[in-house]
Amino acid sequence: MSRSGTVKRETKETSISATWELDATGSEISTGIGFFDHMLEALAKHSGTRIVVQCEGDLHVDGHHTSEDVGIALGLCLREALGDRMGVERFGHTACPLDEALIQATIDLSGRAFLVYQVKPAASRIGTWDTELVPEFFQGLVANAQICLHLHEVCGRNSHHVVEATFKAAARALRQAIAVTGDEMPSTKGVLA
């Protein structure tokens, strides 16, 4: 059975088509924001999954709606792809370095949404992407996938490195958590919710 989720989401602010395949690899990303595309490509590559996103957003306003709505769409895709979460490892944890930057990520496919984001890149913008939109993306992802994600900056100076290490750490933790390692529900209460 394929673990895949697909969403088409239309609002007055964005038009998004997204697919997330947990048992395939690769990416086709187009959001109109170059550095955001680069981060989503890193998310796909380092999670060992395939992400396809086509987004047309109101970038003449700013990148907020695009960033948040792509997070929402990918969260819905991930939730669908995980299904009842039977047999998954459930938890993942990693520390990802990128030169002077070090980010820790811990994930629980708990069925409950919670984000702890303690990452503070010094720059307000990387390329054309506002760094304050990084947690907006992750909040949309977490809330709609119904997962718990902790992201902590241990150290870092270069904002590009800090944000890129954040996406790679989240991806590596997710890779561990989505691995099918059994055939039982990974919860003593018999359900993840």
Which domain CATH number covers 8?
Answer: 3.30.230.40
Mutual orientation of helices 64-82 and 134-145 as an angle, nearest 10°? 30
pTM for the whole structure: 0.97
- Report the candidate in 149, 69, 70 with the shortest Cα–Cα distance to residue 115: 149
In a domain, 184, yes or no: no
**Strands 91-98 and 50-57, how do they pair?**
unpaired
In a domain, 152, yes or no: yes
In a domain, 57, yes or no: yes
Domain count, the chain: 1
pLDDT grade for 25, boundaries at 50, 70 and 90: very high
In a domain, 183, yes or no: no
What pLDDT, in 10s, does the model give residues 31-79?
A: 999 999 999 999 999 999 999 999 999 999 999 999 999 999 999 999 9
In a domain, 191, yes or no: no
Q: What is the per-residue pLDDT for 187?
A: 87
In a domain, 187, yes or no: no
What pLDDT, in 10s, does the model give residues 111-170?
A: 999 999 999 999 999 999 999 999 999 999 999 999 999 999 999 999 999 999 999 999
Q: What is the largest CA-CA distance in the chain?
A: 49
Tokens encoding 110:
């708990």
In a domain, 164, yes or no: yes
What pLDDT, in 10s, does the model give residues 70-108?
A: 999 999 999 999 999 999 999 999 999 999 999 999 999
In a domain, 185, yes or no: no
Q: Which residue segment(s) compose the domain that 50 sits in?
A: 4-178
Given a contact cutoff of 8 angstroms between Cβ atoms, the answer to whether 47 and 172 are in contact is yes
